[in-house]
Amino acid sequence: MTAGTALFAVSCRPKATEARTLQKQQQLNQFLAEVERRALRIAEIGVRDRDEALDLVQDAMIKLARNYAGRGSEEWTPLFYRILQNGVRDWHRRQAVRNRVMVWFGKAKQDDNDYDVIAAAPDPAGRTPDEEIQNSEAMQGLEVAVHELPARQREAFMLRMFEGLDVAGTAIAMGCSEGSVKTHYSRAVHALREKLGEHWHE
């Protein structure tokens, strides 16, 4: 290799790195754009507040981009949901502590009662009013029932059913074994069916 060729190779290296970084950024942006709407709804069912859910999704995006952008894109989905689920769990812990402190000052927050599921229901998208009401009521019932599940069952159900992760991906996202995922999921389905009744989806 001549000195000129070597110099050319060295001068090209930063540009190649820059191009790779840019490409990774674009891939990450595309991945997040694909996943963000489902992630928002999943977080919203978990915390029952859209603004809080938006904050949690944004935090998960930042952490994924900061810590795992270099990983293979096939790993992003379970990693993203693992971060998001951790965020939801932390949110519940913070709420519990906050409520305990507020009790001391006589201002316990009554968040569950303040939440209006109908007001928070999404806008219609080209469906007839009857369909919209039926869907909205069915989803409202499902949302409340899912929210009332124990945390691990809720996570397993939402990741498997709503996000469509397989058992292995759900296990990574939940940080547990595949066997535990199957158990939590099966219990969640039975609990939901019992709660919603046989005729819920008809």
Q: Contact region for other proteins (CB under 8 A) — 2-10, 77-85, 116-124, 170-178?
A: 116-124
How far is 92 from 84, CA to CA, in rounded Å?
Answer: 13
Residue 189 in contact with other proteins, rule: CB under 8 A: yes
Q: Does 198 contact other proteins by CB under 8 A?
A: yes
Q: Which amino acid is at 157?
A: F
Comparison of 94 and 109: residue with beta carbon closer to other proteins:
94
| Secondary structure of residue 20 in the 3-state scheme | helix
Phi-psi label, residue 151: left if phi above 0, alpha if psi -120 to 50, beta otherwise: alpha
- Using the structure block, give the residue that is written with the tokens 């945390």: 151
* 138 counts as binding other proteins under rule CB under 8 A: yes
Nearest approach in angstroms of CB 14 to other proteins is 16
Neighbour count for residue 55 (Cβ, 10 Å): 15
- Binding letters toward other proteins, positions 20-39, x by CB under 8 A: -----x--xx--xx--xxx-
Q: Restricting to residues 46-105, which ones interact with other proteins according to CB under 8 A?
A: 50, 54, 57-58, 61-62, 64-66, 69, 101, 104
Q: Is 109 in the site for other proteins (CB under 8 A)?
A: no
Q: Which of 95, 99, 111, 121 binds other proteins (CB under 8 A)?
A: 121
Are the beta carbons of 184 and 156 closer than 8 angstroms?
yes
Going by the DSSP 8-state scheme, the letter that residue 125 receives in this structure is -
Contact 105, 77 (CB under 8 A): no
Residue 202: Cβ-neighbour burial (10 angstroms; 0-12, 13-18, 19+)? exposed
Which residues contribute to the site for other proteins (CB under 8 A)? 25, 28-29, 32-33, 36-38, 40-41, 50, 54, 57-58, 61-62, 64-66, 69, 101, 104, 121-125, 127, 135, 138-139, 142, 161-162, 164, 186, 189, 192-193, 198, 200-201
